[in-house]
Chain A
Amino acid sequence: MKKEMTWLDDLVIHTSWNQSGVRMAAALSDGSIQLWDVSTDAASTDDLIQTAHWEAHVGGCCPRVAWAPPEYGDVIASCSAEGAISIWEEVVLDGMIEKTWRQTSTLSTAQSSVLDIQFSNSTSALYLLVISADGYARIYMLEDSLNLMKWQLQAEFQNSRSPMEINGKHRFWGASIAWRKSTLMNLQPAFVVGCNSTSHALNSAKVWEFQQAHQRWFCIAELCEADESDKPVNHVSWAQNIGRSHELIAVASGDGVSIWQLKFVTAAENNCSAVRIARLTGFEGEVWQVEWDMSGMTLASSGTDGVVRLWQTNLQGEWKQISQI
């Protein structure tokens, strides 16, 4: 069943939905942001209604928007082509009735464009992970859970297991981040990063975890098999864990998708084991995006051919394409 929800402005270059799937933020190439809400009015013929539109980055382009988890309100982060990040929240100001979007803070990263930006959804703290075209990932932490004005730069690093791997300066075209998602509370925050750059060592998807004992982020696994080592990573997606004994991560590398199973073992020093359980192929060209559904049972992929494919396991546990849209 397929239905058109709305037409979009041809300036829209990126869209992002909130956690409950009822609000969509669209980033425009003129630096503005549009906000669309799913209509709850049964009589309405439109499925999506534009409820706000504002200039976020005057005179520039807004390549990306990302939603924060609902425990922090209706909050989005946007970025400009120059690398400035703005945090916006929807509020009703004192004495007003109408909702408005206000800018709560601006984070200035490196003076290079932002490749990907994602909020964590761990319950303990709110992190904002930004990866820029200078190849650095930066993690900002919110200091006060109800006040979105104060952010602290917590870490800054490159996607490599050791600094030795990075020789010379590299060019970055793209990068992708996905945070660990789980219904379980009090899990250590973790995320996966993959890049599309001139360095194979920096490209491969790596899993990072915050370790309380050392108070820093460690790379705990590298998700790369020999047959994909020279392929740039276009997108990564971490499946929500609804009670599985392992985590599922999909990595869109080159013209295929790898599905990785990650097991956390807390006691051992090398406390994580990663196994590639499937390599999905048969795409015409590059795979650009992979997304898990809410339970991690279905994976959707899209690529240069413009076809959206859906993948599931069969009763024997093998991953198969079930349909394409």
Chain B
Amino acid sequence: MPGWPDSDMSFAGEKSIKAWSSDSASAKVCISWGTGNKLRLSYLHPRTQEISSTATPSKVVEVKVGSVSSHESAMRRLVYDSLPAFALLQNRKQQALRQSQRGLPSDWWETVLQYSRSISVVLGANKSSSGSVLNETSEMEKRTLLRAIWDLLEIVYVDKHASSWLTEQLTDWLERYDQVLSNVEPTVNSKLSVLKPKLINTRFPEDDEDYWSSLASALSIGWLDVVVKYLRMHGSYQHDQIDNRQTENGLVEAVAVLISKMPRLQQSSKTDTVGVTYTFKPEFSKAWERWRNQISKLVTSVFWLECTHEGTANGLKQLLSILLGDTNILISATTHWMELLVSHVLFVKPFLMGSEGLLSLARKCMQLKPPIGIDQLTELLLAIIGENTEVVLVECRKHFDPWMVTHMLELLSAKNGQAQSFLTEERDEFDGLSLEEFHRLVYAQILSSYPCTWQLTPFYLASGTHQGQGLLEAILLMRPVSSDSKVSAKVLDICRMYDLHAVAERYKRMMGVYYWKHGRKGLGISWLQCGRDYSRLTYAANELFTDVSQASVGDSGRLQELDSLIDLLGPQFEGFGGLAFLHRFRDFKGALFSFQEGLANSISFDKQVVAGKTAVKHLMQLMKDGITADKFLLPLLQDAVELLNFSGEVLVSSAETNILLLRLQNLTITNKHDTVLDLSSESVAKIRLALGRNLGRAILKD
């Protein structure tokens, strides 16, 4: 394979015992799956002494497995354009199922028909999202082929009325898609496209054998308008010829008229078709007999003897044989078995109704005209014609991408109850998944690989009772958390719409942690709160407290910032000592800070006393039972030393000092063996000393 030329060299002689993980010196591939079907391969060729660094360089390659199309913008367009029709259909299906317990109503196929036609139109639109026409022929052909199969599925599987007008449906279908039937052998369409430019430059096309054979081919598959038009380009119509070739011209015209009078059983008269339309079968069969008689009469007429142009006589007779349904002529006139099939239903079995018999006729045609080489579509076309749902599914999986498979399953189950149960029954081999849900999972997984389509996955997954929801959750949780808030907002939107509360909570936690770690603590706290992540909020509060205690001697801006962060924790927060503690603590720190500032700037004595008393007031608030956790007591008391030692005035009353002494006593007794709290004798003694001295001063003052 490319990019791996020296693999044999690197591993030659190494036996099974060496594991890749420990073998750092050999070349290897590291596999990793990303979201959806993205496969990341790291081809590593580490530098070793034996292999010089000029060997194959290491690289990372991304492979999109089972990708919808190589033409990404066209694929995106198809994905987006087909979604409304699919979503509407699912909506209606759910409504119908809600209304009736016995499954879908009998006229359900009509709803599917609407859906099918919308998708067919989408497939016909060949503009890519950028507005440029799909210029790659291969891409165009692929799309046309997709539409051809889609439309054939519609005729056979969806449209209940189609069986009454099968001949016309098939003729129409072939007219639209003859060019994609085969890419190895020429089709009628390609024959005619060769003839067309020739006709413009030729005066007497009847001398050319190709002219007649192309006409026969076109006629055999019912392209009457083309045949009539080309017949009238016959040389005998020219002004200078008409006198000499009157009989010949008469015969040509007679055949042209007969062709244009061909009776056709159609649902409604179409203006652009050649032939006489009948909507009622008995009338049609009478007209057919009459018309056939006219042809027979013409075949046996004496005018042929007067026709001197051999080519014309033979050519016209061949056309008449086709009209009379001569199988041998039909075989030689057509190029593909599907064309032969259409020619049979047109001229040999014009009264064929429904799809019964169509399959055996198709098999017969295939035997008569076996496909050249390996015709990949033969199996699929036969399966569709025979309504063999299982084979249709297998073949579609083989030839088309998951978009097609997911969307066409709706067609298969439109009116065919058997197909419906085949597709929706829960299967043990898929762990209870139905084929329908399984293919939706496959498609949704592909959608999730692209940044512009992942948000469409809920339309395909939300209805899935088994693994659909699980996959949707996995897709949402794999969305990267970053400062790009659009993606996050979309994820949370989807969670809200589909009631995925647990996922939303988890995602909010991920966002909370992301912001907390990336310098936006406020946002972090908010998201952690939305995600109700109390254990992380407790840690966050702890960390904020540490910051507050460190910031007490620093700038007031920082204190302000922490202040608002603590505010954010809000009343819902039920962590350790509760929000009350943090708020009082902040107040105390603020007051202590202004007291310290006063000391440093030598402001008036009265103001210093006021600031000091405020700080003491807040300190005493903190000393109330159940407010302050033990681990915060000691730092608080250490802070209090400064207030106790204020020389000008006694700031802490004797009662207050007693409370402080009591708390200190309790702390030292209950946490004697605690290693976390720094109860070293020095700091405690310092506090004790300050408290004792203050108590004396306070009593004196009292």
Q: Which B residues from 504 to 531 make CB contacts under 8 A with A? A: 506, 509-510, 513-514, 516-520
Set of chain A residues within 8 Å of B39, measured between Cβ atoms: 293, 300, 308, 310, 325
Task: Give 18 new A-B contacts, CB below 8 A, not counting A235-B21, A288-B29, A305-B7.
Answer: A5-B62, A8-B42, A15-B44, A20-B34, A21-B34, A21-B38, A22-B34, A63-B21, A73-B513, A73-B514, A146-B513, A146-B543, A185-B502, A243-B468, A245-B431, A290-B31, A293-B39, A294-B445
Comparing A161-169, A170-178, A265-273, the segment that makes contact with chain B is A170-178
Set of chain A residues within 8 Å of B397, measured between Cβ atoms: 315
CA distance A173 to B15 in the complex (A): 13
A156 interfacial by beta-carbon distance below 8 Å:
no
CA distance A70 to B531 in the complex (A): 14
Comparing A51-59, A92-100, A204-212, A213-221, the segment that makes contact with chain B is A92-100
- Shortest distance between the CB of B68 and any CB in chain A (Å): 10
Comparing B345-353, B470-478, B609-617, the segment that makes contact with chain A is B470-478
- Between-chain CB contacts (< 8 Å), 22 pairs: A4-B61, A7-B57, A7-B59, A10-B47, A12-B46, A14-B44, A17-B32, A19-B478, A20-B478, A21-B40, A21-B478, A22-B480, A26-B42, A40-B484, A91-B519, A174-B23, A183-B503, A235-B20, A243-B469, A288-B29, A298-B65, A313-B429
- The 5 closest A-B CB pairs, nearest first, are A174-B19, A317-B429, A21-B34, A242-B470, A92-B519
CA distance A9 to B43 in the complex (A): 11
Q: Output the nearest chain A residue to B51 by Cβ-Cβ distance.
A: A10
Q: Is B62 a contact partner of A47 (Cβ separation < 8 A)? A: yes
Residue in contact with A286 in the complex, picked from B16, B429, B442, CB distance below 8 Å: B16
Set of chain B residues within 8 Å of A313, measured between Cβ atoms: 429-430
Residue in contact with B539 in the complex, picked from A146, A243, A316, CB distance below 8 Å: A146
Q: Is A91 a contact partner of B518 (Cβ separation < 8 A)? A: yes
B91 interfacial by beta-carbon distance below 8 Å:
no
B235 interfacial by beta-carbon distance below 8 Å:
no
Residue in contact with B517 in the complex, picked from A12, A90, A144, CB distance below 8 Å: A90
A223 interfacial by beta-carbon distance below 8 Å:
no
A304 interfacial by beta-carbon distance below 8 Å:
yes
Number of interface residues of B (CB under 8 A): 94
Q: Which residues of A are in contact with B by a Cβ distance under 8 Å?
A: 1-17, 19-22, 24, 26, 29, 36, 40, 47-48, 61, 63-64, 70-74, 89-94, 96-97, 99, 113, 115-116, 123, 133, 144-147, 172-176, 183-185, 196, 231-232, 234-235, 240-246, 254-255, 285-286, 288-295, 297-298, 300-302, 304-308, 310, 313, 315-317, 323, 325
CA distance A244 to B36 in the complex (A): 18
B228 interfacial by beta-carbon distance below 8 Å:
no
Residue in contact with B20 in the complex, picked from A5, A70, A72, A174, CB distance below 8 Å: A174
Q: Which B residues from 16 to 73 make CB contacts under 8 A with A? A: 16-24, 27-47, 53, 57-65, 67, 70
Set of chain B residues within 8 Å of A13, measured between Cβ atoms: 24, 44, 46
- Shortest distance between the CB of B526 and any CB in chain A (Å): 15
Set of chain A residues within 8 Å of B47, measured between Cβ atoms: 10-11, 29
- Shortest distance between the CB of B176 and any CB in chain A (Å): 30
- Shortest distance between the CB of B343 and any CB in chain A (Å): 35
Say what secondary structure dominates the interface of chain B.
Answer: mixed
Q: Is B16 a contact partner of A232 (Cβ separation < 8 A)? A: yes
Set of chain A residues within 8 Å of B42, measured between Cβ atoms: 8, 12, 15, 26
Q: Is A94 a contact partner of B519 (Cβ separation < 8 A)? A: yes
Set of chain B residues within 8 Å of A240, measured between Cβ atoms: 474
Set of chain A residues within 8 Å of B428, measured between Cβ atoms: 317
CA distance A198 to B520 in the complex (A): 52
B136 interfacial by beta-carbon distance below 8 Å:
no
CA distance A321 to B41 in the complex (A): 18
CA distance A115 to B70 in the complex (A): 39
Set of chain A residues within 8 Å of B435, measured between Cβ atoms: 315
- Shortest distance between the CB of B78 and any CB in chain A (Å): 16
